[in-house]
Amino acid sequence: MAFEMIDMSTKLKEGTVAHLIRAIKACNRLKEMKSIISFPKMNKDIKEWKIIVLTDASLGSICNGTGSTESHVIWIVDNDSNSCPISWQANNIKRVVRSTIAAEALSLQDGLESSFYHRRIIEDILGLKHQTIPIEAYIDNKSVVEAVYSTKLVDDKHLRIDIAATSQV
C-alpha cells in the first residue's frame, strides 16, 4: 500500500479517470485491511537494546520508469528478541538513479540517517550517553555491502560520495 501511495502521488499533474478509479480501489483495500501494531514490554536492561534498520529499494518503479522508490523500517530490539517498530517510511528517491546499487545505497543511507535521529531521541529521553545504543543495518543487495566494505571505488561518481558517507558510520 505504501508503494501504491507513492506511485499514485506521481500522477497528480496528469491524473486521469483510470488513476482516480485506481485510487478509490486502493482506499477500499485499505479500509478492508485489519492492522495491528503491537508494542511488547521491553527488557529493562537498556544496555542490551539495539536498533535494527531494514532497507530496500526499487529501480525505475515509478514515473514511467524514470523514478525509483526506497523504504525502511526501524526497530528497537532487546536481548530477549522483543521488538518494537519505531519508524517506517516509503518514499520516492530524490534524484534519478541509473542502477539498482545506487537506489539501494541511497535507501540504506536514508535508513541509517533516520536510525541515528531516532537513536538520539531515545537516548535523550532515557538520559543515556549519546551513541550508547548500537545500530545494525540490513540490506538485500550484496553489491552495496561489498562497496561499503571495499576500498575499490564504484563507477558512478555521485554514488561514490554516498558509499563513502555510509562507510564512515
Per-residue confidence in pLDDT tens, the chain, 169 aa: 777 777 777 777 788 888 888 888 988 988 898 888 778 888 888 889 999 999 999 888 777 766 888 999 999 999 998 999 999 998 888 888 888 888 998 999 999 999 999 999 999 999 999 999 999 999 998 988 888 887 666 666 667 667 777 766 6
End-to-end Cα separation, the chain, in angstroms: 31
Q: From CA 27, how far away is CA 164, in angstroms rounded?
A: 41
Q: From CA 157, how far away is CA 168, in angstroms rounded?
A: 17
Q: How many CA atoms lie within 13 A of 158 on its CB side?
A: 10
Which CATH architecture describes the domain 40-168? 2-Layer Sandwich (3.30)
Q: Are the C-beta atoms of 123 and 132 separated by less than 8 Å?
A: yes
- Closest to 132 (Cα-Cα) out of 9, 49, 31: 49
